[in-house]
Amino acid sequence: QVQLVGSGGGLVQAGGSVRLSCYVSGLTIGFHTMGWFRQAPGKEREGVSLIDMSGDKTFYADSVKGRFTISKDDDTNTLYLQIDDLKFEDTAEYYCAARSPRIYRGTFYSFVGFSYYGQGTQVNVSS
C-alpha cells in the first residue's frame, strides 16, 4: 500500500521559513518523479515544484520560483520542500505526489500524470 505522509506545516509569520517533509512508503521515490502541490481554500489545486528521479533536475511554478526549494533523501524515502520568505498567499494545504515513468511518458516539466497523492500538511501564514 502506497502512503505519502506530509508534515512540518503550521502557523508561520510572513517573511519566515518552513520546511515540509513527506515520508513515502510503498514505493521508491528514486524511481519516481516527485512533486509538491498546494490547495488554498476556494482555489484549485496548484502544482508548485517537481524533482526528477535522479534529483538533478527540478522545476518550480513561477509563483514560487526563488523562494521554494525541493529536495529529497532517497535513503529515507523522504521528500522535502523548503519555503523561504513566506507570503500570505502561500497559505494552503501542501501535499506531495509521485509520478511513475512507466505510466507517464510526457515532459518532465508538467504537473500532470501523478498517480499518487499524499496526506497534506497545512501552512498558515500570518501577517
Q: Which of 1, 4, 2 is nearest to 72 (CA)?
A: 4
Q: Which of 87, 62, 61, 83 is nearest to 71 (CA)?
A: 83
Rounded Cα gap, residues 2 and 122, in angstroms: 21
What pLDDT is attached to residue 127?
Answer: 84
* pLDDT per position as a tens digit, 59-70: 999 999 999 999
Q: Which helix (H) or strand (E) holds 20?
A: strand 18-25
* pLDDT per position as a tens digit, 1-33: 999 999 999 999 999 999 999 999 999 999 999
The arithmetic mean of pLDDT across residues 84-95, rounded, is 97
Q: What are phi and psi of 118, to 5 degrees?
A: -100, 180
Cell of 18: 518552513
| Alpha carbon of residue 96 to chain centroid | 4
